[in-house]
Amino acid sequence: MKITNDVLYILNKLAEAGYEGYIVGGCVRDSIMGIPPHDYDITTNALPDEIKKIFRRTVDTGIKHGTVTVLIDKTGYEVTTYRIDGEYGDFRHPSSVEFTGDIIKDLSRRDFTMNAIAYNPQKGYADPFFGRQDIEQKIIRGVREPDLRFKEDALRMLRCIRFSAQLGFDIEPQTYKALTQNCSLIQNVSIERITAEFLKLITAPYNEKILLFRESGLSDYCGEGLKKALSKREKEIAYLFGKIKKDEISALAVIFAEEKDAYDILKSLRLSNDIIRETMKLIKYYNSDVFCDIFTMRKILSEIGTESFLRLIDIKEAKNEGRINEAKLFISSEQRITKKDININGNDLLILGFKGMEIGKTIDRLLDFVFENPKNNTKEALTREALKWLH
């Protein structure tokens, strides 16, 4: 198990002060699988105040839940006191947390056996639920009683499917059965938490597991939009997922392209305005013959930009539509002209006497003028043309 020097330093400092410390959760799981961890979480029997005494620079990021962020140079490491969750009254949040001195108790409140493993270089593994064995067999298994774990926090069901798509693991039968029986409880979880997991699922290496999201019944309770989109086209979506790049915007477009109220659905998922705008660009052209001729390609490129155009090529190639080679050649050639490349700008038009809305419209017309003949892209020619339209 590889551990960075910063993490070793934190574990050593805790030990010097007389406390236990382990790395835990995703970083241990990933290391066992040979994947470099994207961050390290540390768990300890030191209480938050004690952690703050041991380390010079700390931030109270989640002190109520026992988490203190320890800063080493510019990197923050979450150090969390062993805890047990109190009663869960509402299928999502424990009503209280309680600290404990026992690592095993801390591990037993975690979601899946593969996430309930702790490691310390001197003490070795704490793996009371045989998570390493499940990792080896590529199995996702709820800790202790899956049914209870899903009732305590319903988001765990979506995490289960998301991990299965990220790691390519199967879900252990009892765990899957419990998931199918508790699906409706996810309605108690905030849409923000659902969307964060959903985005990880649709961009995961095995994102065709979106089929499980549907088959288990879980997608029926994550909002009307998802329910509608996935109940009609789940096979087609999974098929296209297998072909397109793992990209959030393209994946969202593929899922919602056939929905008349796609924009409202994206809004209801509380996605950022940027993501919604980019996704809607692809949806607009999802079913149209975009690559029919150079003139059309130029117009669409200038409207949606290079990045979206490349995504459209990727999607249309997956859909096995025609003229893909022509589109690839087009985008890589110099034929690309967009508003930015035109040798006249809004300010020039203002000086010529254009006002307000006229300016944008005139630039669009000048773009057509340049499309017709690239030689028209000189300030003189564009000015002459623009003046013809000045009222």
Q: Which residues bind ligand ATP (CB under 6 A)?
A: 25-26, 41, 110-111, 115-116, 153, 155-156
Least CB distance to Mg ion at residue 298 (A):
45
Only one of the segments 24-32, 69-77, 355-363, 372-380 lies at the binding site for Mg ion (rule: CB under 5 A); that segment is 24-32
156 binds, among Mg ion, ligand ATP, none (CB under 5 to 8 A by kind): ligand ATP
Only one of the segments 22-30, 43-51, 100-108, 202-210 lies at the binding site for Mg ion (rule: CB under 5 A); that segment is 22-30
Least CB distance to ligand ATP at residue 219 (A):
19
Listed as own residue / partner, the contacts of 268-272 with beta carbons closer than 8 Å and 24 or more positions apart are: 268/191, 268/223, 268/224, 268/225, 269/191, 269/194, 269/195, 269/198, 269/223, 269/225, 269/226, 270/191, 270/192, 270/195, 271/195
> Is the CB of 186 or the CB of 318 nearer to ligand ATP?
186
Least CB distance to Mg ion at residue 316 (A):
36
> Is the CB of 166 or the CB of 383 nearer to Mg ion?
166
Least CB distance to ligand ATP at residue 318 (A):
27
76 binds, among Mg ion, ligand ATP, none (CB under 5 to 8 A by kind): none
- DSSP labels for 57-69? SEEEEEGGGTEEE
Phi first, then psi: give them for residue 94, nearest 5 degrees: -70, 140
76 is a contact residue toward Mg ion (CB under 5 A) = no
> Is the CB of 135 or the CB of 342 nearer to Mg ion?
135
Query: Token pair 């199967």 is at which residue?
Result: 170
Residue 357's contacts (CB-CB under 8 Å, 6 or more residues apart) are none
Least CB distance to Mg ion at residue 45 (A):
21
Q: Which residue is nearest to ligand ATP (CB)?
A: 26
Phi first, then psi: give them for residue 119, nearest 5 degrees: -145, 135
Least CB distance to ligand ATP at residue 90 (A):
14
Token pair listed for 237:
């979506």
> Is the CB of 23 or the CB of 304 nearer to Mg ion?
23
Helices (H), the chain: 5-16, 26-32, 48-54, 103-108, 131-136, 146-152, 155-167, 173-182, 191-202, 210-215, 224-241, 248-256, 262-268, 273-285, 294-304, 306-318, 324-332, 346-352, 356-372, 379-389
> Is the CB of 42 or the CB of 276 nearer to ligand ATP?
42
Least CB distance to Mg ion at residue 78 (A):
9
302 binds, among Mg ion, ligand ATP, none (CB under 5 to 8 A by kind): none
128 is a contact residue toward Mg ion (CB under 5 A) = no
128 binds, among ligand ATP, Mg ion, none (CB under 5 to 8 A by kind): none
> Is the CB of 41 or the CB of 152 nearer to Mg ion?
41
Give dist(CA 326, CA 329) in Å, integer: 5
Which of 117, 115, 199, 98 has its CA nearest to residue 149?
115
Least CB distance to ligand ATP at residue 280 (A):
28
Give dist(CA 31, CA 2) in Å, integer: 7
> Is the CB of 38 or the CB of 56 nearer to ligand ATP?
38
Least CB distance to Mg ion at residue 41 (A):
6
> Is the CB of 189 or the CB of 269 nearer to ligand ATP?
189
> Is the CB of 14 or the CB of 42 nearer to Mg ion?
42
User: Three-class SS of residue 72?
Assistant: strand
141 binds, among Mg ion, ligand ATP, none (CB under 5 to 8 A by kind): none
26 is a contact residue toward Mg ion (CB under 5 A) = yes
Query: Token pair 């010097």 is at which residue?
Result: 16
Amino acid, single-letter form, for residue 74: K
Give dist(CA 387, CA 364) in Å, integer: 14
Vertex 75, ends 72 and 76: CA angle to 5°?
85
Q: Which residue is nearest to Mg ion (CB)?
A: 26
153 binds, among Mg ion, ligand ATP, none (CB under 5 to 8 A by kind): ligand ATP
Least CB distance to ligand ATP at residue 305 (A):
31
Give dist(CA 21, CA 15) in Å, integer: 7
> Is the CB of 26 or the CB of 128 nearer to Mg ion?
26
Token pair listed for 320:
């096995």
57, with CB counted inside 10 A (0-12, 13-18, 19+), is exposed
Interacting residues toward Mg ion by CB under 5 A:
26
